[in-house]
Structure 1
Amino acid sequence: MEHIELFFKSIFIDNMVFATFLGMCSYLAVSKKVSTAVGLGAAVIFVLAVTVPVNWLLDQYILQPGALKWLGAEYADYDLSFLSFIMFIATIATMVQLVEIVVEKFSPSLYNSLGIFLPLIAVNCAILGGSLFMQSREIETIGLAFNYGFSSGIGWFLAILAIAAIREKIRYSNVPAPLRGLGITFIITGLMAIGFMSFGGMLTGGDDEGKEETQTAKVEQVNENEDNKLAENTTTINE
């Protein structure tokens, strides 16, 4: 259940583009055609799905205070958390370089259409944001870390795919001159963000109802215990 909840929240409620506005440069620049948007979105999914669990391992076994205790008791007091940014960025740069080599080898046309934005995935703040959010949320297992990275990548992919499809259609629309280009794109992005955030009520309402039911049950249990104690005291006094 935890995996499913994290999966859907990362895609819709905590979407990298619509909730935190990360990765907006690539989102705006490469969303003029659906074909290029699909290619870049797939690359982002791969990079996030790999870098987030790898950075989770680095955080758990190297960077956190006391994480080096597996090397011996003398290393238990080491704190390398100040190296988090350097280690995370190094991992991201390595994965992006791998993606660039693969895309250039198997799809030269996509490589040429993406241009400079493919290697710039390494400095895409959505990629680094995935690892930093993973760290701040204190995700407990590598399975949840992979789930979070993969679902966050899908969320970013859906965002750029949707805006690319819309931008292809509005080329034939009568958009007012002052809003043509980025103006209408930002307006559409805001409307899409409202739509994505509306899923919050569906995915969190059940949790709130469950909590309310649990609290009500606890209150009823306490009241019942108090009534039983009062009845026992009354019986003792009468005897």
Structure 2
Amino acid sequence: MNTESLGAIFLNACLVNNFVLAYFLGICPFLGVSGKMETATKMGAAVMFVMLISSMCAYGIHAFLVAIDAPFLQLISYIVVIASTVQLVEMFIKKMSPSLFKSLGIFLPLITTNCAILGVALFQTNKEYGFLESIVYALGAGAGFTLALVLIAGLREQLNFADVPKISKGTALTLFIAGILSLCFMGFAGLGA
């Protein structure tokens, strides 16, 4: 059982060990959906929801697999839960907001293969978090993922109005900004002590 406070778990997952900017997990949607603030915010909310549901299920699955002495099934079980949750989110978004469904495009089903979501499930298991700690960890990781998406989307929208040399336009500039953001988030490492 872990002895960290819930606030420390949240801050650690959100800022100190941000899944995108510190662990470099979930880079595909980070680069692909961060062109517009609105799309980035909604993608962040979808990923946070999937992280939360997957985290709760992963806690139960882990307890069950340990009880029946079959922890080797952990990874495949997590993947099945994540894929199922993403399918539910995809159907919900398609029904409630067809325009958002179109704007997210291929990145919505790719949440299934988003390594940040699988990382949350595996990291919380390895850290031996309890149920409430797992929920807080997933919320912190989701908030950090959303924060990273919103930050890069805001910067990319502002750069549309800037005079940028041709050689650094597009993906090169986005990666450069992502690197600077990652360095900025390293400054939060002192909070995790």
TM-score w.r.t. length of structure 1: 0.77
Identity %: 39
Q: 2:49 pairs with 46, 51, 63, which one?
A: 46
Once the two structures are superposed, what CA deviation does each residue of 1:202-232 show, in whole Å capped at 9, x if it has no partner?
Answer: 342xxxxxxxxxxxxxxxxxxxxxxxxxxxx
Distance in 1 separating the partners of 2:20 and 2:191: 20
Match of 1:143 among 125, 129, 132: 132
1:132 aligns with 2:122: yes
Shift >6 Å, 4+ stretches: none
Of 5, 9, 14 in structure 1, the residue corresponding to residue 12 of structure 2 is: 9
Contact residue 16 and residue 191 of structure 2 kept, 8 A = no
Structure with larger Rg: 1
Distance, in Å, in 1 between the alignment partners of 2:190 and 2:122 is 26
Q: Which has the higher contact order (CA 8 A, sep 6+)?
A: 2
3-state SS in 2 of match to 1:198: helix
What is the CA distance between 1:106 and its match in structure 2? 1.0
Question: Aligned partners of 1:12 and 1:127: how far apart in 2?
Answer: 16
Residue 35 of structure 2 aligns to a residue whose secondary structure is coil
Aligned counterpart in structure 2 of residue 182 of structure 1, from 161, 171, 177: 171
Letter in 1 for 2:112: A
Structure 1, gaps ≥5 residues long? 69-78, 205-239
- Inter-partner Cα distance in structure 2 for 1:172 and 1:121: 30
Aligned-CA RMSD value:
1.2
TM-score by length of 2: 0.94
* Structure 1 position 32 matched with structure 2 position 35: yes
- How many residues end up aligned between the 2 structures? 190
Unaligned runs of 5+ in 2: none
Partner in structure 2 of residue 101 of structure 1: 91
State how far apart, in whole Å, the 2-side matches of 1:115 and 1:201 are. Answer: 38
Question: Please, which of 91, 106, 111 is the counterpart of residue 81 of structure 2?
Answer: 91
Partner deviation per Cα, 1:78-106 (whole Å, 9 max, x = no partner): x3122111100000011101111111111
